Structure 1
């Protein structure tokens, strides 16, 4: 297709992702899913179904990163969450959210969040980290109030910080993001007993 000058579309990528999932080659399925996002091709419901069902049908499995051409944000984040004891279903959704927001598809990620909640997976600190990262990449860091709930306790904020630090490793050279500063400020205020204070975090 590329030799003929044809660009793969959502159907092409979805067929590849679905085929690898059916064969149990989950890391390869994830590779093409991430390639799809990096090429700004928006997934559809079928794509999500393949990824979510393919991986949750192998609960707790650590995805092999060695067979891929390059390191994978999805694989790294998924394995971190599984190692931390998070439920497989929420882990897959969170990995998708992280990848969408990393690739500038925060609005698409917000739509997926609604689907995630309908399936019984409430947003958690990792989800918050994904959305905060996405808004900061878009230069909308002052919208953090819509992303980070004041109900997050200090431990949950530290979990969010861990995943924003992971996301920072995938930023293009020379680009920085402000979400770590926001989260560190919130953590400091929590540790000083100011959880109930109306937090004002400067994004300057």
Structure 2
């Protein structure tokens, strides 16, 4: 039917291609689904949130998490805003396949999501928190800080607390938007010197993944906060010694 459509010069649209991609994914024919995705783009059609979410969800269900992450990062770089379904697919995919191999073979460039996820896991955070934080980092890196803050609010309603990694993400996001003076709105007062050091580590990862010519003041702000915190700690130690 698709062939007849093209033959009769009836141009397929985003919905047509998305339906076709969905059909191939449902039958497990991911190679043809990806070919249809590329053909869609070559025709000048921009995939929408449904198109990307179908691919992401399908790869997550198959435990092909690196592929799912590839399309998630592609989605963000193309300024297509994910929705709650997209996030749920990624979170469930990672939590349901804890032993999946997360390599970079399907990536043309370094994957911020996979690098940050592996770092967070090695730092001792639970898997679900690692996935959500990786999502937040990627959103803020791609100029979607408002979407990241909305997701944070939903997470807090579920019992998730702000931590140094998410603080680094939001600080980086507002700095990219030219709002670095608003840093007090995203850095928690509860962060001690150790927490600020952790935030700085992830801030530097984000800066490394920025395109050439784009800068962020986030690391400088965190470095100054660490110096101030260290100074305050030294003052307290001197007071205790004096007593």
Q: TM-score, structure 1 length as denominator?
A: 0.91
- For 1:184, the equivalent position in structure 2 comes to 223
Whole-angstrom CA distance in 2 between matches of 1:162 and 1:130? 11
CA spacing shift, 1:125–1:151, aligned 2, 3 Å = same
Q: Indicate yes or no: 2:146 matched with 1:90.
A: no
Report runs of 4+ in structure 1 exceeding 3 Å deviation: 59-62
Q: Which residue number corresponds to residue 155 of structure 1?
A: 194
Secondary structure of the structure 2 residue equivalent to 1:2: helix
Higher radius of gyration, 1 or 2: 2
Question: What runs of 5+ residues in structure 1 fail to find an aligned partner?
Answer: 197-204
Work out the number of aligned pairs and report it.
196
Show the counterpart of 2:173. Answer: 134
Cα distance in 2 between the residues matched to 1:118 and 1:52: 17
1:37 pairs, out of 76, 93, 97, with: 76
Q: CA deviation at 1:63?
A: 2.1
Which residue of structure 1 lines up, in the alignment, with residue 85 of structure 2? 46
**What is the alpha-carbon distance in structure 1 between the residues aligned to residue 99 and residue 220 of structure 2?**
32
CA distance in 2: counterparts of 1:15 and 1:110, whole angstroms: 24
The whole-number CA distance in structure 2 between the counterparts of 1:79 and 1:61 is 12
Contact 1:60–1:82 under 8 Å retained in 2: no
Structure 2 equivalent of residue 73 of structure 1: 112
What 5-or-longer segments of structure 2 have no aligned partner? 1-39, 236-243
CA contact (8 A) 2:169 2:203 kept: yes
Taking the aligned partners of 2:234 and 2:179, their CA distance within structure 1 comes to 24
How many Å separate the matches in 2 of 1:68 and 1:100?
18
More helix by share: 2
Q: Specify which structure has the bigger relative contact order, considering alpha-carbon pairs within 8 angstroms and separated by 6 or more residues.
A: 1
Determine if contact 1:73/1:99 at 8 Å carries over to the other structure. Answer: yes
What's the counterpart of residue 6 of structure 2? none
Query: Given that residues 62 and 79 in structure 1 are in contact (C-alpha distance below 8 angstroms), is that contact kept between their aligned partners in structure 2?
Result: no
In structure 2, distance between residues paired with 1:100 and 1:191: 31
What is the Cα deviation at residue 67 of structure 1? 3.9
Q: Shift of residue 61 of structure 1?
A: 5.4
RMSD: 1.6
Instruction: Tell me how far apart the structure 2 counterparts of residues 57 and 118 of structure 1 sit (CA, whole Å).
Output: 23
Q: For the structure 1 residues 69 and 174, does the alpha-carbon distance in structure 2 shift closer, same or farther, using more than 3 Å as the test?
A: closer
Corresponding residue for 1:2?
41
The question of whether the paired residues in 2 share the 8 Å contact of 1:62 and 1:82 is answered with: no
- Aligned partners of 1:117 and 1:58: how far apart in 2? 24
State the Cα distance separating 1:148 from its structure 2 match: 0.5
